[in-house]
Amino acid sequence: MDGMGMPGSIGEAGAPVRYSIETRWLHWSCAWLVLAQFVLGELMHRVPLALHGPIVSAHLSLGVLLAALFVMRVAWRVTGGRAIRFPVGDGLAGWAAPAMHGVLYLALGAEIGLGYLARWSGGRPVTAFGAVIHSPFGPMSQATHHLFGSAHGWLAWAIMILAAGHVAAVLYHVRVVRDGVLRRMWA
């Protein structure tokens, strides 16, 4: 066993060769929830009225779950967690990967905040798994509600584009660089 509690995860030079189970669980849970949220968000505007309510309810509940996991993930990352750090090199690779991760974290945090604000600015509470989260703010104008809703929708698309870039970078590492980056986050 290694210091990360996983057998076989120490490389020849004593460096960890994969991320901890907690890091991997937080990553993949957030990734799948972000994708589910995007799909539900797009569906809610395209389904018959009879399905609108259940889709909105699922979107809100999964959004609160994503917010909780996001807070856990940020806390895990800020405190060092048991993540591993790999030298990414100089030049483009040296700043692109950390910059992409930073932008994804900022965008996802903003998206979650905008989701709450979009709901509350419309005079409705956020409901999740039967619990009700009331707005801490007073009434807001229709223009403010529209602004928050539009920003939430546009940022969702931006996150999907960033995520596609993230996946493309992973595929580049898998097919061209062949450095085992996916194995470290998957296995």
Chain segment 39-58, per-residue pLDDT in tens: 999 999 899 999 999 999 99
- Average confidence (pLDDT) over 154-181: 91
Average pLDDT for the chain:
87
Q: What are phi and psi of 86, to 5 degrees?
A: -115, 140
Higher pLDDT, 98 or 57: 57
CB-facing half-sphere around the CA of 93: CA atoms within 13 A: 10
Please give the class, per CATH, of domain 21-179. Answer: mainly alpha
Q: Is the pLDDT of residue 160 over 50?
A: yes
In terms of residues, how long is the chain? 187
Of 51, 179, 75, 68, the residue nearest 131 (C-alpha): 68
The residues near 116 (Cβ < 8 Å, ≥ 6 apart) are 67, 126, 133
Question: What does the pLDDT read at residue 2?
Answer: 34
Distance (Å, rounded) from C-alpha 161 to C-alpha 107? Answer: 11
- Taking a C-beta distance cutoff of 8 angstroms, is the pair 21, 6 a contact? yes
Cross-strand bridge partners of residue 127: 132
Q: 177: helix, coil or strand?
A: helix
- Average confidence (pLDDT) over 97-111: 93
Question: What does the pLDDT read at residue 7?
Answer: 35
Q: Is the pLDDT of residue 117 over 80?
A: yes
Of 50-54, 62-66, 130-134, 169-173, the range with the lowest mean pLDDT is 169-173
Of 18-27, 81-90, 94-103, the range with the lowest mean pLDDT is 81-90
pLDDT range class, residue 5, cuts 50, 70, 90: very low
Q: What is the pLDDT of residues 129-155, one digit of tens each?
A: 999 999 999 999 999 999 999 999 999
pLDDT range class, residue 8, cuts 50, 70, 90: very low
Q: Is the pLDDT of residue 10 over 60?
A: no
